[in-house]
Structure 1
Amino acid sequence: MASAVSADKRLDQVVRLIAGNMVSEVCSVYVARGGEVLELFATEGLKKEAIHKTRLRFREGLVGEIAATGAPLNLSNAQSHPKFVYRPETGEEIYHSLLGVPILRGGRVVGVLVVQNRTQRHYSDDEAEALQTVAMVIAELVSSNELVRPDEVTAATLERAATPSFEVMALAEGIAIGRAVFHEPIVEILEHVAQDSGVERDRLVTAFAALHQQIDNLMAAEDMKSGEHREILDVYKMFASDVGWRQRILEAVDSGLTAEAAVERVQVENRARLQSTPDPYLRERLSDLDDLSNRLIRHLMGRADTSASENLPDDFILLARSMGPADLLEYDRSKLRGVILQEGSHTSHVTIVARALGIPLVGQAGGIIERVASGEQLIIDGDEGWIYLSPSAEIIQSYQETLVARTERFARYTALRNEPAVTLDGVEIELYMNAGLAIDLPHLESTGAKGIGLFRTEFQFMVGAQMPRLETQIEHYSEVLDAAGDRPVVFRTLDIGGDKPVAFMVPEDEENPALGWRAIRVALDRPALLRYQLRALIQAATGRAISIMFPMITELAEFKAARAIVDKELERRRKLGLEGPASIRIGTMIEVPALAWHLEPLLKHVDFVSIGSNDLLQFFFAADRGNAKVSGRYDVLSPAALSFLHHIISTCDRHNVPVTFCGELAGKTLEAMALVGLGLRRLSISPAGIGPVKTMVRSLKLAPLEAYLKDLMPLGERSVRSRLMAFAHDHGVIL
C-alpha cells in the first residue's frame, strides 16, 4: 500500500496477496460509484475483461446486499442464496463459497471485498476478521480518489447501466412487484366565479349526499363491519359529517365562488391551519381531510371515481401524494400489490389499514412519483424502504426468488403449526405472539402460538378523536379474550405519549419525548385514565383468567402505585357484588435499565416480568433506534448486551418469577437463538416470526450453545454475531 506504483497496480497486488494467503481462487474489490453503483475495480480469478464493466446496484446480488446492509456475508453455497445474481462476463459460475465484507470509511460503505472458492467451504471467524482488517486498509486507498478517473466512465454510462432506486420510509412491511397506477387523476378547476350562488348551493348539497352514500357503501362491506378498519372509517365519516366544514364551504359559495372553488378554498385553509399545529394527531388527520375534499370536488365535476373503478392490471402498485383509508379500501385487493405515498407516516390511518391488510407500503417518497410513468414496472421493498424504477431483469429475478422463497418457507412454517417448539435435547421454548389489532387475532390459529404475550392496548385510543367509552373498551378486550380461548393473554396498559399521540390529550412540547412524559408516567399523573382502562379489562375478564402489565416502570414505587389502582378496581367490583376475573396476574415491562438493577425487591411484588427490548436496549446503548445516524452504532449481539440480559434472566430464575422476552429482537432467528442460550424459555414475537423461530428451536441442541455463550460474554468484542453464525453453521442450526 505504501509503494510508489499507481493505485490500480497497488489494488491488483493486494487482491493477489489476499487470494494467495487465504487459499482462495478468487479475490475481488468492488468500489462504490455515484448513485449507489458498485463497480468491479480489481480481481484475481475472475475474467479480467469484467473489470470496470461489471456493475451492480446496492442490494443487487450478494455484493450489493453486503453494500446495502454494511454487514459481512459468509456462504458455503452462494448460488443457492435468493439474492445471488449471475454476471456472465465474470465467469464466476464455477465458484460456490463466498466471503464478502464491506469496505467502510467513516461508517459509510465505499466498496466491497470478496473472496470465493470452487468448493463449498465455510470460512472461519479468523478468516472473516482478517478480511475485515484488510478492508480497513483498502478503505484508505478507495477514499483517496486515486482510483476514480472521470474520463473512464461517464455519469450517463452509469445511469444506463443502473436501475434507478430510491430509499424511502418503510411503513408496512412486504415486497411488491407490479405496474404503476396513479390513484387519482388530476382534476383541474377551470371555473372559480359562480353565475348563480343558489345553483351552486344545490350542487353542493347533492355532492355531499353522494359523498356520504359512497362512505356508507364502503362501511357496509362484509369485512368492514368490525375491528380497527371500522373504527377508522367511523372517524372518517365523522369528518365528512362535520357541520363546521360544511358551513364554511357554503359560506364560500355565498361569497361568489363555484362549489368546486369553495371546497378548494376551505381545503387550502384547513391545510395551512393543520400544517402549523403542534398537535401531531391533528397533522396526521390532514390526509383524511384532503381525501374528503378531493372526493367532494370529483363528485361536483362528475368524476367521482378514482382509478379503483378502472380495469386495472392483475399486479399493480398504487401511487398517490396522500390517501385516506377509505380510498385504499376501494381497490381490488386481489390485484393490489403495494402502495407508494409521496407523504405518509407510521401513524396515519392509511398506514394502519395497510399493515392490517398485509399490503406493502412506503412513504415520504418526495419527488419520486413525478419520475414514474403510468404502467412502468416497479418494485417496493417495504421491509427495508426501497423503490426500484424499471428494474433490471436481474433485480426482478432476485426479488421474485425472494417472494417464492418466502412462500415456500411459509408453507413449511404452516406445517409446523401444531408441533411444539422443543430443542433436540428436549427443552421446550414457549412461543407467544404480539398483537394490537383485531385483525391480528386469527394469527393465533394460523401460527400455533401458545397465546398472546403482549397485547398493545393503545391503538384503540390512537385512532379516535375522543377517548373510547367504557363499553367500547370492554367489547374490544372481550373480543381479544374470546379469540384466545384457553390461551393466555397479557394486556399491556396504555403506552401513550412520546411517539404515540392521542387526540384527547394536549401533546407536551418535549426535547426528548422518548425520555419524557409517556406510558406509566401519564397513567399515574392521570390515574382516572388508568382506572378507567383497568375497569374495562377486569369486566371483560369476568370469570376468565387475565394478565396485566405496566409499561415504562422505572422503580418499585411506580409499580406499587399502579398495582394499588388495580386493587381499588377489584375491591370496587367486590363491593358491587359483581363477579371478577377467575384469576389475575400483575406484572411489569422491564424497559428502563434502572429497573434491571433493582430486580431483587421488585420480584417480591410481581407475578411475572417481560423484557421490552426495543426501549431497553436503546436506553442501554444511549442510541435512538429511530435515528438512522446512530441506530447502527451498536449490535444487540454484543457481549455487553448479552451480559446485561443474562443478569435479568438469571435473577428472575433465582426468584422463580416467569420472564418473557417481547420485542422485534426475539423474532430474528439468530438473536432468538442467543436469547434461548441465555436461559429464556418464553418469547413473544410478531406472528411472522413464530414459524422461523420454531424451525430454529427444533434444529438446536441447547447444551452446547449455553456453554459456548458463557465463553463469549467476557470477550471485549463489539459483536459476537459472526461467531454465533459460525456456531449455527457448525451445529446444523436452521436460521
Structure 2
Amino acid sequence: MRSASGGPRVLLRRLRETMAEQVSAQERLDKIVVLIAANMVAEVCSVYVLRIDNTLELYATEGLNREAVHHTVLSAHEGLVGLVASEATPLNLSDAQSHPAFSFRPETGEEIYHSFLGVPILRAGNTLGVLVVQNRAKRNYVEEELEALQTTAMVLAELIASGELSALAQPGHEPAARHSAQKVGAILSEGIALGHVVLHEPRVVIKDYIAEDLPKEIKRLDTALAKLRADLDRMLERGDVAEGGEHREVLEAYRMFANDQGWSHKLHEAVATGLTAEAAVERVQSDTRARMLRSTDPYLRDRLHDLEDLGYRLMRQLVGQDHAPSREQLPDNAIVIARAMGPAALLDYDRKRLRGIVLEEGTANSHVSIVARALGIPAVGEVPNAPGIADPGDAIIVDGTSGSIYVRPSQEVEAAFAERVRFRARRQAQYLALRDRPCVTKDGQKVELMINAGLAIDLPHIEDTGSAGIGLFRTELQFMVGQSLPRTSDQLALYRTVLDAAGTKPVTFRTLDIGGDKALPYMEAVIEENPALGWRAIRLGLDRPGLLRGQIRALLRAGGGRALRIMFPMISEVAEFDAAKALVERELTYLRQHGHTLPERIDIGTMVEVPALLYQLDELLRKVDFISVGSNDLFQFLYAVDRGNAKVSERFDTMSAPILRALRQIAHKCHTAQKSLSLCGEMASKPIGALALIALGYRSLSLSATALGPVKAMVLDLDAKKAEAMLGPLLDAPAGSVSIRQKLTEFAEAEGLAL
C-alpha cells in the first residue's frame, strides 16, 4: 500500500486522537479528511453524508474546492458517489470521467482528478454516507488501500450515528442517521403504541474499535473462531443429531459457514487494518448484510440469516456477553424490534411493559401475530432491515392501523399519535358501555360473542368484555411459556382456574396444538420441509398418547361436577376423531375407578380446518357434539398458501366465493344435523368478517378480546335477514364475477354499520 504516514494502524490511532479532541464537529471532520488523504497519499479525500431528503451532501473535503462544502448536493443515485451509496459497494476506477455514471460538478474542481475510490459508510447494513479518495494520475487503488478506506469508514459511521453532525445541517437537511424516519410494513396486530426501542437480539456493544496490540487481536479472533467451531461440532455429536436426518443436514450447512475460509480470511484482513477482533467482525457483517439485502435471491437472503447469527455468536464470545439482557428488565414502554419472533419468544416478555412489536419477517396470519392480537399488542411486520433501523432507547411509534412505524419522531408527530391513542381510549370506553347489552341483531337474532384465551392473565377479559364465554382456550400456551413440560398438577390448576373464572359461561378447551411454528423450547425440534402440513396438533398427540392422555386427565378432573367442552385440533379424518375420543373414554374409566368426581356433562367436538373434513361432514356430525371452524388453517389449506410466507399470504381474499361457499356448506350441514357450530379464526375478529359469517348463518363467534367491542357494535346495528338476502345471490354467481368484499362494504355503508 502506498502510504506516507505508517499505514492504516497509524491512521486509526490518529483518528482516535482526533475523535477525542474538544473541537467542533466541522473541525473534527476537516481534520479527519486531512489525515486520511495524507495517510493514503491521496490528493483528495471527501466525506458525503446521506440526508433525510435522500440526498448526499458534501460535508468535508481535502483537495476539492472547500467552498463546495455544504453546497454540493447529489441525489441518492447521482454520479459515482450516488452509485456507491445506492449499491452499498465500493467503486474503484482508474479513469472516473469515462464511467457512464460520472456527474460533473464544476463548483468542486474535481475535473483534474482521474482515479477514484469510493466506499459506503455503513452501520448495521444501512448506508449513512460515502467516503472518497481521488488522485490526478490514472491508476487503480490496490486491495490494501480499499481495506484501509473501509476500515476508516467504520469510524466515520460511528461519528455520523452519534448525531454530532446534525449541528452542521440546515433545517430539513439533517443527516438521515439520527433523524426521524418513517418505515412502512404490514399490519400484524392493530393498535397504536408509543415507546422506546428494545432489540430482541441486542447488538453487541463494541467499546474499542482500534487495536492496540495487533498480534493479540489476531489471537483473540482465532480463539473465538475455534470455540465457535468446537461448539458446533459438539452439537453435531449429540445423540439426537448424530444419527442423521434433515436436522443434521441443516447443522452441517451451518458448520460449513463457520469453517468457510473466505469468511475467516475477511475477518483476518479486517483485523490487519488495525481493528479490534470484534470491530472486524462487525465490519464484515455490515458489508455482507448491505450487499445481500439488495439480492432478490431468497436463498442468499436465507444464508444472510445464518451468517448474521454466526457473526453475532462470535462477537458475543469476543466481548464476553454470553446472554441477552433479561426480558423482564424492560422499560415501562418497550417496543421490541426483531428480525423474526415465535409466539413463545413473545410470551417471554413482561406484558405490562411491552407496548408494541416490529418485525422484519412475519405475516398477519402467523402465530406470533395471532398471539399479539390476542394480547392487544400493536405489531407491524415485513419491515426491511428492522433491527438496523434504530438503536436501543430510541423513541418509536408503531401504527398498527396503517402498517407504519416512526423512528425518532418529531414532537408534532408524537403529539398527533398521542391524541390518536387518547381517541382510541375514548372509543374503547364506548365499547365498554355496550358490555352488558344482549348481543342481538336489530331483527332479533342472538349472536354469541366469545373470546379466545390461553393463559390465566387472559381471564379478566371474560368480565371486562361481557363475552358469552371462552370459545377457544389455547392449552398449548401454558406449554410454550414454561421452561419444562408442565406437570399434570400444573395443568389441572390452570384448567380449574379457567373454569372458576368463567363461572356458568362455557369454555371450550382445545387440546395441544403444538408443532409447526409452535415449538416447545425443551423438546427436540423436528425439522420439516412443510411444518404446517406435518407432525403437529392431534397427529403428534395420537403418536405420543401419554402426553395427550395426561392433558385429558387434567381436563376431566378440572371439570369435575360441572360442564366440560373438549375440542381436538387438526382432525383430517373421522378415524382420528374416534381415536382421540377413545382416549377420553379411557381416562373417564380410570377416574371413575379411582373415585374422582366426573364432569356433569362432557361435550366433545373438533375443529374443521383440514379441507378433507368438508367431504366427511355427514359421518363426522353423527359422532361429534359440536364443530368449530378454524378459519386460519382452513383458508390456507384451501388455497395452498403458506400464511407465514409474505410473498403469497395476500394472494387470496377471505371474502372470496370459494371460502364463503365452504363456510356456507359447513353451516348448512350443522344446522341440518342440529349440531352446535362456531368459528374461532381471525375472520371473526373483523367486523366485515363477522358480518359475512352472520349472513352465512353463524351465530357463535370466538375472537380476540380487543376485537369484541367493535364486532358487537356492528352486530347491534345489523339486520341479519337483510345481510343473508344480500350475500346469498353473490355466492351463487360465477366465482370472480363480483367483489364480495366490496359488496359487503357497500351494504355496511348503506346500513350504517361501522366496519
State TM-score, norm by structure 1.
0.59
Corresponding residue of 1:679: 697
1:432–1:452: 8 Å Cα contact kept in structure 2?
Answer: yes
Pick the aligned partner of 2:429 from 385, 389, 411.
411
Q: 1:563 and 2:581 equivalent?
A: yes
Q: After the TM superposition, which residues 426-445 of structure 1 pair with which residues of structure 2 at under 5 Å, given as runs?
A: 426-445=444-463
The answer to whether the 8 A contact 1:185-1:307 is kept is no
Task: Find the counterpart in structure 1 of residue 750 from structure 2.
Answer: 730
**Does the CA contact (< 8 Å) of 1:356 and 1:439 recur in 2?**
no
Could you tell me which of 582, 599, 624 is aligned with 2:642?
624
Q: How does 1:294-313 map to 2 (within 5 A)?
A: none
**Whole-angstrom CA distance in 1 between matches of 2:229 and 2:327:** 21
Which residue matches 1:473?
A: 491
- The Cα of 1:509 is off from its aligned counterpart by 3.1
CA deviations over 1:177-224 (Å, ceiling 9, x no partner)? 346678979655779xxxxxxxxxxxxxxxxxxxxxxxxxxxxxxxxx
Offset of residue 555 of structure 1: 1.4
Residues 114-138 of structure 1: CA deviation (Å, up to 9, x unaligned): xxxxxxxxxxxxxxxxxxxxxxxxx
1:708 partner amino acid:
M
Q: Which amino acid aligns with 1:727?
A: F
Provide the secondary structure at the position in 2 that maps to 1:713: helix
Letter in structure 2 aligned against 1:575: Q
For residues 584 and 629 of structure 2, what CA distance do their matches in structure 1 show?
Answer: 22
Structure 1 vs Structure 2: percent identity of aligned residues?
Answer: 46
| 1:462 paired residue among 480, 493, 497 | 480
1:721 aligns with 2:741: yes
Larger radius of gyration: 2
Alpha-carbon distance, 1:271 to partner: 8.7
Deviations, residues 420-476 of structure 1 (Å, cap 9, x unaligned): 111111111011111112211111111011100000111222233432211111112
Structure 2 counterparts to residues 114-193 of structure 1, below 5 A:
164-167=181-184, 174-178=191-195, 187-188=205-206
Structure 2 Cα separation of the partners of residues 619 and 355 of structure 1:
22
Instruction: Give the aligned partner of residue 623 of structure 2.
Output: 605
Q: CA shift at 1:708, angstroms? A: 1.2
CA RMSD of aligned residues (A): 5.1
* Partner of residue 135, structure 1: none
* Aligned position for 1:246: none
Is this contact kept in 1: 2:363–2:646, CA < 8 A?
no
Equivalence for 1:422 = 440
Q: Secondary structure at the match of 1:502?
A: coil
Could you tell me how far 1:388 is from its partner in structure 2? Answer: 2.6
Q: Which one is further off, 429-438 or 344-353?
A: 344-353
In the alignment, the residues of structure 2 paired with residue 706 and residue 362 of structure 1 have an alpha-carbon distance, to the nearest angstrom, of 34
Structure 1 pair 298/415, CA: closer, same or farther in 2 (3 Å)?
same
Instruction: Give the letter aligned to residue 605 of structure 1.
Output: K
Q: Provide the rounded CA distance (Å) in 2 between the counterparts of 1:654 and 1:521.
A: 30
Residue 182 of structure 2 aligns with an amino acid whose one-letter code is S
Q: Deviation of residue 267 (structure 1)?
A: 8.6
Any conservation in 1 of the 2:480–2:519 contact (CA below 8 Å)? yes
**2: CA distance between counterparts of 1:662 and 1:570?**
27
2:613 counterpart SS class: helix
Is 1:530 the counterpart of 2:548? The answer is: yes
Distance change in 2, residues 1:714/1:178 (3 Å): same
Q: Does 1:511 align with 2:517?
A: no
Which residues of structure 2 form unaligned runs of 5+? Answer: 1-51, 55-172, 210-218, 252-304
Quick check: 2:362–2:644 contact (8 Å CA) kept in 1?
A: no
Q: How big is each residue's C-alpha offset from its partner over 1:216-243, in whole Å with a ceiling of 9 and x where there is no partner?
A: xxxxxxxxxxxxxxxxxxxxxxxxxxxx
Structure 1 equivalent of residue 288 of structure 2: none
Distance 2:493 2:701 in 1: 28
**Contact in 1 for aligned 2:608/2:634 (Cα 8 Å):** yes
Please name the residue that 1:662 is paired with. Answer: 680
SS at match of 1:454: strand
Cα distance in 1 for partners of 2:611, 2:468 equals 29
Partner SS, residue 183 of structure 2: strand
CA shift digits 1:338-367 (9 cap, x unpaired): 455789999999999988875545678665
Deviation at 1:175, TM superposition (A): 2.1
Amino acid at match of 2:749: H
Residues 557, 596 of structure 2: 8 Å contact kept: no
- 3-state SS in 2 of match to 1:433: strand
Does the 8 A contact of 2:397 with 2:407 survive in 1? yes
Return the letter of the residue paired with 1:568.
R
Tell me if structure 2 keeps the 8 A contact 1:325–1:353: no
Within 5 Å, give how 1:356-505 maps onto structure 2: 359-360=377-378, 367-372=385-390, 377-382=395-400, 386-391=404-409, 399-400=417-418, 402-505=420-523
Structure 2 SS opposite 1:379:
strand
State how far apart, in whole Å, the 2-side matches of 1:355 and 1:465 are: 24
Residue matched to 2:77: none
**1:498 CA displacement:** 1.6
Provide structure 1 residue ranges, at least 5 long, that are not aligned to the other structure.
1-34, 38-155, 192-256
Distance 1:349 1:631 in 2: 13
Query: Matches of 2:365 and 2:646 in 1, distance apart?
Result: 19
CA contact (8 A) 1:182 1:307 kept: no
Contact 2:328–2:350 at 8 Å: present in 1 too?
A: no
